[in-house]
Amino acid sequence: MKYSNLNDYIIELEKQGLLLRVKTEVSTDLEITEITDRMMATDGPALLFENVAGHTIPVLTNLFGSHKKMSLALGVEDVDQIADRISALLDTVQNPPKSIGAKVKLLGELLKIAKLSPKTVKQAPCQEVIHTGEQVNLFDLPILKNWPLDGGKFITLPLVITQDPKKSSQNYGIYRIQVYDKNTTGLHWQTHKGAADHYRNTTEKLDVSIAIGSDPATIWSGSAPLPPDVDEMLLAGFVRNSPVKLVKCISNNLKVPANSEIVIEGYVLKNESRIEGPFGDHTGYYSEAADYPVLHVTTITHRNNPIYPSALVGKPPKEDYWMGKVTERVFLPLIKLTLPEVHDINMPAEGIFHNMLIVSIDKRYPGQAYKVMNGLWGMGLLSLTKTIVVVDKFVDVHNISELAWRVLCNINYDTDILISKGPLDDLDHSNPSAKFGAKLGIDATRKIDGEGYTSDWPEDVEMTEDIKQLVDSRWKEYGF
Ligand SMILES: Cc1cc2nc3c(=O)[nH]c(=O)nc-3n(C[C@H](O)[C@H](O)[C@H](O)COP(=O)(O)O)c2cc1C
Ligand SMILES: [Mn+2]
């Protein structure tokens, strides 16, 4: 395990020259956003604002704002290493070994996973200071107003914890929180998210706890779209290589990461809602104000000297892009379990995740591109994807120039387009009947027998290997 808490990560960032401490007094009202936005745009360091007007708690921003920081945050050279560990594990489970020695090794691997399950502890740093009842005041926290037309102050990096009333498993999701007054907030869990499902299953009252600031793997795991009832803390434990320690909350029975900086405990009532938003969202537009459940805060606990982390979203790419890129890499091996022909995927920044997914496939039979589109549209939060573009395995999905060339050449608008239907992301503002609507699938693969293509598919323009070798060997002779 690389980091036992957020401060360990700050120390590492500083060691790597990836953190700046800002000692000048700054305001939580737009100023920190503008400074952070400029730093993020130039691939700058994380920022620790130590002198926040009206507050004693420092604010940490841009903690995840690049591929390099995300790798450092998850304790690896490159985030692909985590995907490789998942692939290796799936491989051993899918192809159980025959020899006794290898079987013992597999058992060892599985036991290691069991050891990475979250553990409950009795005492926790996040409960060093406890505020209950009249002492609860959300305005003590240096919560930012991010963009000029925002409806108020928003907590943008909270780990929101709920439990399905019908089950024992907890869900962890990052859903922004708007502060209404000193002890009530909005809770922006969107229709298709884990907590929204728990709320739908609630008859009267649902307990909610919110952990702010933990070790980076634990924070990130809240953004991972795991299937319902798969514990985000097991994923965090796997990434950290060490189990997450949880502690029971003071005023409800939920468990929160013990190493959190700040914890907000409370409950929501069924059938109580209030206007939440507008908010300068990760789409680059303000998301519309709409009704969301109201959190009644019962208790706030924190460390002796807490740090308040905040994520900046807005016109892409922002911090959510880098967090989501890790998810894209980590989930690729899991997508391949169901759709083995998938070679690679890319969710480009401009597509803000739900608007575009580009997928390359090893195509073997007619119509396979449509199988893959339909498969993806049936898979968890990928069901919200508005546009899916399918290309052949040899196309580099991360090279948008190559991709545009291939797609524009290959596509026949009469035959290669599928307009389908399904759920849409709550943040999609293009469709008047939000949350449900049209999707576009583009089959830009090479057409084969059985797909109604009657000519021979043209060859790529390429030089022969022998001429390349000849020119290689004579290169000096040409006198360049
Ligand atoms: C910085 C950041 C902010 C986010 N804000 C929200 C939000 O306000 N509402 C929401 O539903 N999802 C939000 N998400 C996306 C969810 O965290 C993500 O969909 C995750 O899978 C939710 O967990 P769940 O699958 O357990 O519901 C945000 C993600 C990030 C990285
Ligand atoms: Mn979940």
Residues 359, 232 share a domain: no
- Return the pLDDT at 150: 98
What b/e readout covers 253-276, taking b as 16+ CB neighbours within 10 angstroms?
ebbbbbbbbbbbbbbbeeeeeeeb
The residue whose C-alpha atom lies closest to atom 9 belonging to ligand 1 is 175
Q: Strand order in 417-423's β-sheet?
A: 342-346, 357-361, 387-392, 436-443, 417-423
- Return the pLDDT at 247: 98
Residues 169, 25 share a domain: yes
In a domain, residue 469? The reply is no
Query: Tens digits of per-residue pLDDT, 237-250?
Result: 999 999 999 999 99
What is the Å distance from ligand 1's center to 79 Cα? 20
- Return the pLDDT at 101: 78
Using alpha carbons only, give the angle 77, 78, 83 rounded to the nearest 5 degrees.
125
Q: Is the CB of 193 under 6 A from ligand 1?
A: yes
The residue whose C-alpha atom lies closest to atom 13 belonging to ligand 1 is 175
- Return the pLDDT at 67: 95
150 is catalytic: no
Is the overall model pTM greater than 0.85, yes or no?
A: yes
Residues 141, 39 share a domain: yes
Short-list 383, 440, 325, 320, CA closest to 191? 383
- Return the pLDDT at 114: 82
Residues 162, 246 share a domain: yes
What is the Å distance from ligand 2's center to 168 Cα? 14
**Is the per-residue pLDDT at 350 higher than 90?**
yes
Query: Tens digits of per-residue pLDDT, 145-154?
Result: 999 999 999 9
Cα→Cα distances 178→62, 300, 321, 323, 343, Å? 20, 16, 22, 21, 40
Query: Tens digits of per-residue pLDDT, 205-226?
Result: 999 999 999 999 999 999 999 9
Give the pLDDT mean for 30-45: 97
Q: Is the CB of 192 under 6 A from ligand 1?
A: no
In a domain, residue 44? The reply is yes
Using N-to-C axis directions, what is the helix angle for 80-94 and 232-240, rounded to 10°? 110
The residue whose C-alpha atom lies closest to atom 2 belonging to ligand 1 is 320
What is the Å distance from ligand 1's center to 32 Cα? 22
| Strand stretches in 62-192, DSSP E | 119-121, 129-132, 154-155, 158-163, 170-174, 177-181, 184-186
In a domain, residue 112? The reply is yes
Residues 379, 283 share a domain: no
Give the pLDDT mean for 95-119: 80
Q: Which one from 281, 320, 344, 428 is the annotated catalytic residue?
A: 281
The residue whose C-alpha atom lies closest to atom 7 belonging to ligand 1 is 175
- Return the pLDDT at 301: 98
- Return the pLDDT at 9: 98
Site to probe by mutation for ligand 1, drawn from 63, 175, 220 as the one with most ligand atoms within 8 Å of Cβ, is: 175
Q: At 32, is the secondary structure helix, strand, or coil?
A: helix
Query: What tokens does 184 get?
Result: 């009530």
Question: DSSP secondary-structure letter at 79?
Answer: T
**Is the per-residue pLDDT at 19 higher than 90?**
yes
Mean pLDDT of the chain: 95
Question: DSSP secondary-structure letter at 223?
Answer: T
CATH number of the CATH domain containing 146: 2.30.110.10
What is the Å distance from ligand 1's center to 292 Cα? 15
Q: At 178, is the secondary structure helix, strand, or coil?
A: strand
Contact yes or no for 263/210 (Cβ under 8 A):
yes
Q: Is the CB of 173 under 6 A from ligand 1?
A: yes
Task: Tell me the β-bridge partners of 422.
Answer: 437
Give the pLDDT mean for 30-40: 98
The residue whose C-alpha atom lies closest to atom 22 belonging to ligand 1 is 173
Residues 284, 176 share a domain: yes
Residues 400, 263 share a domain: no
In a domain, residue 324? The reply is no
More confident residue, 454 or 45: 45
Residues 344, 303 share a domain: no
How many domains are contained in the chain? 2
Question: DSSP secondary-structure letter at 241?
Answer: T
Site to probe by mutation for ligand 1, drawn from 167, 193, 320 as the one with most ligand atoms within 8 Å of Cβ, is: 193
Distance CA 388, CA 407 (A): 12
**Is the per-residue pLDDT at 106 higher than 90?**
no
Q: At 9, is the secondary structure helix, strand, or coil?
A: helix
Q: At 26, is the secondary structure helix, strand, or coil?
A: strand
Q: Predicted confidence band at 353 (pLDDT cuts at 50, 70, 90)?
A: very high
Contacts of 298 (CB under 8 A, 6+ apart): 132, 133, 136, 251, 252, 265, 266, 267
Residues 270, 395 share a domain: no
Residues 290, 201 share a domain: yes
In a domain, residue 449? The reply is no
Q: Give the domain range for residue 425.
A: 339-443
Q: Which atom of ligand 1 is nearest to the CA of 197?
A: 27
Task: Tell me the β-bridge partners of 300.
Answer: 131, 264
- Return the pLDDT at 103: 76
- Return the pLDDT at 423: 97
- Return the pLDDT at 109: 74
**Is the per-residue pLDDT at 326 higher than 90?**
yes
What is the Å distance from ligand 2's center to 175 Cα? 11
Contact yes or no for 208/263 (Cβ under 8 A):
no
Contact yes or no for 446/363 (Cβ under 8 A):
yes
Q: Is the CB of 311 under 6 A from ligand 1?
A: yes
Q: Predicted confidence band at 168 (pLDDT cuts at 50, 70, 90)?
A: confident
Q: Is the dihedral of CA 376, 381, 386, 392 positive or negative?
A: negative
Query: Tens digits of per-residue pLDDT, 172-181?
Result: 999 999 999 9
Q: Is the CB of 62 under 6 A from ligand 1?
A: no
- Within 10 angstroms of residue 284's Cβ, the number of other Cβ atoms is 13
Give the pLDDT mean for 251-266: 98
In a domain, residue 138? The reply is yes
Q: Which atom of ligand 1 is nearest to the CA of 320?
A: 31
Residues 291, 207 share a domain: yes
CATH number of the CATH domain containing 412: 3.40.1670.10
**Is the per-residue pLDDT at 111 higher than 90?**
no
In a domain, residue 282? The reply is yes
Q: What percent of the chain has pLDDT over 90?
A: 90
Query: What tokens does 195 get?
Result: 């907590």
The residue whose C-alpha atom lies closest to atom 12 belonging to ligand 1 is 175
In a domain, residue 475? The reply is no
Query: Tens digits of per-residue pLDDT, 47-102?
Result: 999 999 999 999 999 999 999 999 999 999 999 999 998 888 888 777 777 888 77
Give the pLDDT mean for 119-138: 97
- Return the pLDDT at 186: 98
Q: Is the CB of 313 under 6 A from ligand 1?
A: yes
Short-list 159, 137, 265, CA closest to 219? 159
Site to probe by mutation for ligand 1, drawn from 60, 61, 170, 174 as the one with most ligand atoms within 8 Å of Cβ, is: 174
Query: Tens digits of per-residue pLDDT, 395-443?
Result: 999 999 999 999 999 999 999 999 999 999 999 999 877 799 999 999 9
Query: What tokens does 133 get?
Result: 């009842």
- Return the pLDDT at 374: 98
Residues 299, 439 share a domain: no
Q: Is the CB of 188 under 6 A from ligand 1?
A: yes
